Chains A and B, each alone.
Chain A
Amino acid sequence: MTKSKCWLLFKTQMRNEFGRSLKSRGRKMTSFAIGIVLLMLVFYAYMLSYGLGSMGMAEVIPSYGLAITGLITLFFTALKTNGVLFAYKEYDMVMSLPVKTSTVIASRFMTMYVLNLMLTAVILIPMGIGYAVWAAPGIIFYPEWILGILAAPLIPTTLAALLGTLIILFSSRFKYANAVVTVVSVIGTLAVLVLSVGMGQFAETIDMPEIHSISEMILTQVHRIYPPAALFFQGIARGNAAAMAAFLAGSLLWFYLFVKLISPVYKKLNTSLVTYHTRSNYKLTELKASSQIHALYKKELKRFFSSTIYCLNMGMGCLMTLVLAIALIFVRFDQLDQMTGIPNMAEMAARILPFAISALISMSCTTCVSLSLEGKNLWILKSMPIEDITICKSKILMNLTLQIPAALLAALIINIRFPMALSMRILMFVTPVVCALFNSLWGMFINLKMPDYNWTSETALVKQSLPAMAGTLGGLVGGMIPILAVLALHQIDAGLLTGVMTAVILLGAWGLWGQIRKAKI
């Protein structure tokens, strides 16, 4: 009975999660775009395992695969806890049903688990194939690997749920709770970035003759970062059935304990999460008047910084630009060839940097979703005495506020650190600014063409909607084309080529502006 109730709750949640998005506008294109990303992930995972196998490090694959999926699950689930496991919209309705609290938790957890399982399978199935190709394991490997895939998301999902709960409990003490969650999440993201860069540098120092000891070192490191991987490694690579059983049993036990531990405090946790920070002691003081555009712009800024999902996803490009800019302080231009092992790297870097910065900041495209984000608040804008173009301008300004300072700071650091021709020095500032303008207008244009005001999940809108993908990935791809052109046409003066392409992009921006002026919200 309990099992069937759990299944019923789970089924309804999944329908709720996917039902509407499948019916929404641009479904085919969105599915196509998601399909491409998944295919790229499959390809990446297979090539990673193939690469490790070809270097004689096939035994690293199980641990590496499990650790990668574990970290990805941990990171993405921690952000999702609020809204799936806790403080979800239908909490009151679900909790009033004649169902045990532990059944509700298990059903909510199953939703997170199934979503993570899909991601885990996309990575671990091709890695398993890579492992089978190079390690030629016995027949027992195949059922073990499948069981491993099924068990893999349990521990990181549970850990992430705990981590997410702690972050939310901490932030709920503050008035601007979402801003606190955003800051904590940005720090977490930066930590993951630094960690992965550190691991990348470690991988680059691999010396082929030392491959076996390196393999041991990688295993030791991965097992230290993610201990369940050690049991999985023993089970798969060493054929230790007891270790494999311990991994599977441990994952299940951990999940069982989580449900049992959280059940008694579930209602209390939820209550504290949905209890708002209020003072109710406000006294009216002097108010400051602003122009329409300034008021709309301030509203956009507040909207951006109040949503962790929006801020983190759409701010990532600018954050990465800032990280790159700071990293460049420590890089010596004359040592670039030596550091990277690529001949003429310094010269190449000088040619591509204006567009590399542009591509990075273009990933921060708020305009491609900011109109859709109005959602159920759209009536406010529609009933106000403002021109549609003023609304668009405020959203474009918001995007430029994010992109331009990041681009200019990066350009300034590059100008100080690297020697280059005067024309390139100027273009280092001009090109990213023009690209930011184009990207902001491009995002606005596609959101005007494909608005979705009836969304139910902000996460789905910001991460998976077609305009979001067209805005962020489109910006990245759009930035890559000029980079490839600059590299391919290396016989032409970099300044001239960059200048001409910048002018073409500016023309494109002007064309988009003309379209936006005519559009209606």
Chain B
Amino acid sequence: MLEIRNFTKTYKGGKRAVSGLNLHVEAGDIYGFIGHNGAGKSTTIKAVVGVLEFEEGEILIDGRDIRKSPVECKQILAYIPDNPDLYEHLTGIQYLNFIGDIYGVPAAERKELIQKYGDMLEITSSLGDLISSYSHGMKQKTAIISALIHKPKLMVLDEPFVGLDPKATHTLKEVMHEMCENGSAIFFSTHVLDVAEKLCNKIAIIKNGNLMVAGSTAELTQDESLESLFLEVIDHDKE
């Protein structure tokens, strides 16, 4: 579903954020992307969803190159950034309807899905209010619904659990499992190692723009916790 081949991103001024990254996310995967602050997680995610231009490497979404066929790739993608800055002059429902229009979701279907996910995340009654009146968590919930109403094959999330209340966090995890059972794939970054360990069937750890380890969570952690593995990998160079 997502294939990253030798992806390298160098910012103006020569700072190399990511160096020769290779990753493979398959349908049905919940793939956790772990790293410390500034490791290159958000840079990779932004390049995957077509928000950030890059010069070296290839990113394929369902076999299509994001740079050569951006519209086709984005049609099957959904992206939720770490800080969901939505259109504050729109109401929640106006924003969701706007997203439905852009992705060409039939009116009846979008209504059904908005109702379903709105109720699950307990935000339906607030959808008539302006987004400018929403808290961070409410914006996050609206962004999640907007990502789900067009039934993406690949959902990419940057720190999705930050700002969500415990109930919404639980709901999002359920939704992720449901999507994967239906053949979609999830690729998300996180700092919360407990969540990654329990939720993800695959993980990758990135450090200073370099991929340190990647693979099945069970195989990588074996008898130790993900936290121990992470600290071991991160502190490896220091020793």
Interface residues of A (CB under 8 A from B): 175-176, 178, 276-284, 286-292, 294-296, 298-299, 302-303, 306-307, 376-377, 379-380, 382-387
Nearest-Cβ distance from residue B97 to partner chain A, whole angstroms: 5
Q: Chain A residues near B79 (CB, 8 Å)? A: 379, 383
Q: Is the CB of B89 within 8 A of A385?
A: no
Q: Is the CB of B75 within 8 A of A385?
A: yes
Q: Chain B residues near A380 (CB, 8 Å)? A: 86-87
Given A276-B132, A277-B133, also A289-B85 (CB < 8 A): no
**Which of A282, A287, A298 contacts B129 (CB under 8 A)?**
A282
Q: Chain A residues near B110 (CB, 8 Å)? A: 287, 289
**Which of B93, B101, B114, B126 contacts A278 (CB under 8 A)?**
B126
In addition to A287-B93, A379-B85, 16 A-B residue pairs with Cβ atoms within 8 Å of each other are: A276-B132, A278-B129, A279-B129, A282-B124, A282-B127, A286-B107, A287-B97, A287-B111, A288-B107, A292-B104, A307-B89, A377-B87, A379-B46, A383-B51, A385-B72, A385-B73
Q: Chain A residues near B93 (CB, 8 Å)? A: 282, 284, 287
Q: Is the CB of B107 within 8 A of A284?
A: no
Q: Is the CB of A279 within 8 A of B128?
A: yes
Nearest-Cβ distance from residue A495 to partner chain B, whole angstroms: 44
Nearest-Cβ distance from residue B202 to partner chain A, whole angstroms: 23
Q: Chain A residues near B46 (CB, 8 Å)? A: 379
Q: How far is the CA of A307 from the CA of B81 in the complex (A)?
A: 25
Q: Is the CB of A385 within 8 A of B111?
A: no
Q: Chain A residues near B98 (CB, 8 Å)? A: 295, 298-299
Nearest-Cβ distance from residue A374 to partner chain B, whole angstroms: 9
Q: Chain B residues near A299 (CB, 8 Å)? A: 87, 90, 98
What is the 8 Å Cβ interface bit string for chain B, positions 103-141, against chain A (1 contact, 0 not)?
Answer: 111110011001100100000111111101100000000
B49 on the interface (CB 8 Å rule)? yes
Q: Is the CB of A276 within 8 A of B130?
A: yes
Q: Chain B residues near A387 (CB, 8 Å)? A: 71
Given A295-B98, A376-B85, A383-B79, also A280-B129 (CB < 8 A): yes
Given A276-B132, A287-B107, A287-B110, also A384-B74 (CB < 8 A): yes
Q: Is the CB of B85 within 8 A of A280?
A: no
**Which of A278, A294, A296, A306 contacts B89 (CB under 8 A)?**
A306
Q: How far is the CA of A281 from the CA of B115 in the complex (A)?
A: 14
- Top 6 nearest A-B pairs (CB, nearest first) are A282-B128, A276-B133, A295-B101, A306-B89, A385-B74, A385-B75
Q: Is the CB of B89 within 8 A of A386?
A: no
Q: Chain A residues near B71 (CB, 8 Å)? A: 385-387
Nearest-Cβ distance from residue B214 to partner chain A, whole angstroms: 24
* Residue ID in chain B nearest A374 by CB atoms: B87
B100 on the interface (CB 8 Å rule)? yes
Interchain Cβ contacts under 8 Å between A and B, 6 examples: A175-B130, A176-B130, A288-B107, A302-B89, A380-B86, A386-B102
Nearest-Cβ distance from residue B2 to partner chain A, whole angstroms: 15
Q: Chain A residues near B128 (CB, 8 Å)? A: 279-282
Nearest-Cβ distance from residue B174 to partner chain A, whole angstroms: 21
Q: Chain A residues near B104 (CB, 8 Å)? A: 292
Interface residues of B (CB under 8 A from A): 46, 49-51, 70-75, 77, 79, 81, 85-87, 89-90, 92-94, 97-98, 100-107, 110-111, 114-115, 118, 124-130, 132-133
Q: How far is the CA of A284 from the CA of B124 in the complex (A)?
A: 8
Which secondary structure dominates where chain B touches chain A? helix
Nearest-Cβ distance from residue B94 to partner chain A, whole angstroms: 7
Q: How far is the CA of A260 from the CA of B153 in the complex (A)?
A: 61
Q: Chain B residues near A298 (CB, 8 Å)? A: 98
Q: Is the CB of A281 within 8 A of B87?
A: no
Given A284-B124, A302-B89, also A379-B51 (CB < 8 A): yes
* Residue ID in chain B nearest A304 by CB atoms: B89
* Residue ID in chain B nearest A178 by CB atoms: B89
Q: How far is the CA of A287 from the CA of B103 in the complex (A)?
A: 15
Q: Chain B residues near A276 (CB, 8 Å)? A: 129-130, 132-133
Q: Is the CB of A383 within 8 A of B74?
A: yes
Q: How far is the CA of A104 from the CA of B209 in the complex (A)?
A: 44
* Residue ID in chain A nearest B49 by CB atoms: A383
Q: Chain B residues near A377 (CB, 8 Å)? A: 85-87
Q: Is the CB of A284 within 8 A of B126?
A: no
Given A379-B79, A380-B87, also A280-B107 (CB < 8 A): no
**Which of A176, A282, A294, A382 contacts B101 (CB under 8 A)?**
A294
Q: How far is the CA of A175 from the CA of B77 in the complex (A)?
A: 34
Q: How far is the CA of A295 from the CA of B72 in the complex (A)?
A: 19
Q: How far is the CA of A450 from the CA of B94 in the complex (A)?
A: 30
Q: How far is the CA of A306 from the CA of B133 in the complex (A)?
A: 14
Q: Is the CB of A289 within 8 A of B107?
A: yes
Nearest-Cβ distance from residue A489 to partner chain B, whole angstroms: 47
Q: How far is the CA of A450 from the CA of B115 in the complex (A)?
A: 41
Q: Chain A residues near B49 (CB, 8 Å)? A: 383
Q: How far is the CA of A376 from the CA of B86 in the complex (A)?
A: 8
Q: How far is the CA of A306 from the CA of B130 in the complex (A)?
A: 11
Nearest-Cβ distance from residue A71 to partner chain B, whole angstroms: 31
Q: Is the CB of B100 within 8 A of A280?
A: no
Q: Chain B residues near A279 (CB, 8 Å)? A: 128-129
**Which of A178, A294, A376, A382 contacts B50 (CB under 8 A)?**
A382
Q: Is the CB of B125 within 8 A of A295?
A: no
Q: How far is the CA of A71 from the CA of B104 in the complex (A)?
A: 51
Q: Is the CB of A282 within 8 A of B125?
A: yes
Q: Is the CB of A289 within 8 A of B74?
A: no
Given A281-B125, A302-B94, A383-B77, also A292-B133 (CB < 8 A): no
Nearest-Cβ distance from residue A510 to partner chain B, whole angstroms: 26
Q: Which of B87, B89, B103, B125 has the most CB of A within 10 A?
A: B89
**Which of B72, B87, B100, B132 contacts A287 (CB under 8 A)?**
B100
Q: How far is the CA of A294 from the CA of B79 in the complex (A)?
A: 23
Nearest-Cβ distance from residue A289 to partner chain B, whole angstroms: 4
Q: Chain B residues near A290 (CB, 8 Å)? A: 101
Q: Is the CB of B89 within 8 A of A303?
A: yes
Q: Is the CB of B87 within 8 A of A284?
A: no
* Residue ID in chain A nearest B52 by CB atoms: A382
Q: Chain B residues near A281 (CB, 8 Å)? A: 125, 128
* Residue ID in chain B nearest A293 by CB atoms: B101
Nearest-Cβ distance from residue B230 to partner chain A, whole angstroms: 28
Q: Chain B residues near A295 (CB, 8 Å)? A: 97-98, 101-102
* Residue ID in chain B nearest A284 by CB atoms: B115
